[in-house]
A = this chain, B = another copy of it.
Amino acid sequence: MTPESYQLDDTDRRILLALDEDPRVPTMMLAQRLGLARGTVQTRMERLASSGALRPNSSRVKPSSVGRGVSAVVSAELDQSHLEDAIEALSRIPEVLECVAPAGDTDLLIRAVATDPDDLYRVSEEIRLCPGITRTSTSMILRDVIPYRTTALLNHLS
């Protein structure tokens, strides 16, 4: 089942919101909390897991907890013919947490972390040296204004 082929309904969203607050809450408590039968919650959770509606969980670790207190956005220009090589190479850099390809003059937007500004320089150099990448521009993130969330969206839909 592809993620798009299954749209979450209200019950799904309520389960996800509850799971959001406490990812490891026992199914039974969840059922009680939501006023559903345990079997229902169980079925829903299995479906959610297998439908691909959930991302991998890796986003849960704060980079600052592993000494990566410095965060940055790197925009990169790219020789389009080397896109796949660049992606390959970027994936190999552990400090690269995320990368998207937006429309417009920036070819890649990369989210990276480092231990300190010096280390950030090293990381941005590593990025710049990826095959196909012709130019980069690195901006340190001064403040995490809104940390990634989908809670607001889920709440909005209920």
**Count of A interface residues, CB-CB < 8 Å:** 73
Oligomer: number of copies: 2
- Decide: B94 and A60 in contact? CB cutoff 8 A: no
Chain B nearest CB: distance from A21 CB in Å?
A: 8
User: Chain A interface secondary structure, helix, strand, loop or mixed?
Assistant: mixed
Does A87 reach chain B (CB closer than 8 Å)? yes
CB of A47 to closest CB in B, whole Å? 11
Contacting residues, chain B, for A67 (C-beta < 8 A): 7
A/B interface sample: 6 pairs, CB < 8 A: A52-B62, A54-B62, A59-B149, A100-B144, A103-B139, A103-B142
Interface on A for B, CB 8 Å cutoff?
A: 3-4, 6-8, 13, 16, 19-21, 23-24, 51-69, 71-73, 87, 90-91, 93-104, 106, 108-109, 111, 113, 139-157
